[in-house]
Structure 1
């Protein structure tokens, strides 16, 4: 039999865990982790041709990091864990119109691009390999998947514990949620560190305007929610165990 206090803690922890999973899932699937604001392009044929060529290269599957990064910098791009997008004119010869209609063009990062090697000079495979950026890029892709996997595993263990009418496995569920919260926080840290290193290696860093997007804040909020759920699960399991031990000792005495 579970005390009402512990049952309440388990319910609140489950709700927090669900909210954290939803927030992290939405953050992973959206593209607004980082947003760039470009200066208005001048209305001349040469600049229009350059931007059109940049847009064409951006949508290619095997595009280099330097190419798509430059497109993000110059074309009001947004980037996420799985997506990169740019804001481009709908018309091909946009420079002939004073206010062309703008549309968003998005491309998903392929699996090879998620694990590609990064270099000191972005896009230049003849330069020295940048191990730090390489592993930050890979970790920011893997950590949210690990976090969601840990929460899913914790949910399965929690369901089994309910079926067995035992609160003991809840302690392990709490530790799983704690690891999930750490992975969610590590995702944000790896992403921001990787973007910062990319800006330092880029030649366009001086004139760029950029800001954090709402998707990143969702991922950031999911981490403390998971940790609060972990604290509630661990407290309920340990307190219930101590209380049960004391009651058993009292009955024996």
Structure 2
């Protein structure tokens, strides 16, 4: 009788432990899957943000398409020697958009041909974009934009460089974290996901830093180059994608770290319970 009771008690203990262990695995697996989905969405948003040209948009009245002055501004905008003041003046006047890699303006299609002095309608315009070269990305900003004798503005210079570099660092950290997460799946262990969570946390900080640097840089630029009275500016959807990507990275990081840490803690408790 005593042996039967002991056997039944042992069977019940093993069954209850297995049931609890299954519930634990389901909980952690669900958190892991949700974190992976959030990580994937944030990566897509970050990549789209980096590759598009709508971090900041200007809205201005349509310009006369036959003006020699306008054509001169267009030519200076697309030239390799355009300085910060030159291309920003064009952005202000021609519904410009700015990304991390390129700057774009909206100009008439027939800008190289004679046309009567009439206002250009929406179907007569085309977007022209110019890429920032690596030299321009790391070029110093001046206290008085366009005036090389005014001295270097270190704050704006480093803000510009950070807003360009940090998104790529963020994207790289997330990709590296994804590789570690894949290794965790292959090994059937949640322990490596702590590193994945930490990498996503660093990626979120980099994304947040990039967004902050961009906002600060735009505000400082507009203090030095004031917008004309009939021109308005606003942050575009590319900037919004970066803003959304940051909290997604933080949430994914929290889920990865929670799943790995709690799984390790409860596994230790269950192991002790099983031994007892």
Off by >2 Å, runs of 4+ in structure 1 = 39-43, 92-100, 203-208
DSSP-derived class of the 2:104 partner: strand
| Count of aligned positions | 250
Deviation at 1:138? 0.2
Segments of structure 1 that go 5 or more residues without pairing to the other structure are none
Q: Does 1:136 align with 2:159?
A: yes
Q: Who wins on radius of gyration, i.e. which is larger?
A: 2
CA deviations 1:207-246 (Å, max 9, x no partner) are 5311111111111101111111111101100110111110
Aligned counterpart, 2:68? 49
Task: Select which of 20, 33, 58 maps to 2:77.
Answer: 58
Change (3 A) 1:98 1:79: closer
CA deviations 1:133-187 (Å, max 9, x no partner) are 0000000001100000000110111111222222111111101101111111111
Change (3 A) 1:225 1:198: same
User: Matches of 1:203 and 1:142 in 2, distance apart?
Assistant: 27
Segments of structure 2 that go 5 or more residues without pairing to the other structure are 1-20
DSSP-derived class of the 2:240 partner: helix
Task: Select which of 96, 101, 105 maps to 2:117.
Answer: 96
User: Matches of 1:70 and 1:181 in 2, distance apart?
Assistant: 34
Deviation at 1:199? 0.7
2:160–2:213 CA contact under 8 A, matched in 1: yes
TM-score (norm 1): 0.94
For 1:3-42, list aligned pairs within 5 A: 3-41=25-63
Aligned counterpart, 2:106? 87
Change (3 A) 1:223 1:95: farther
Aligned counterpart, 1:77? 96
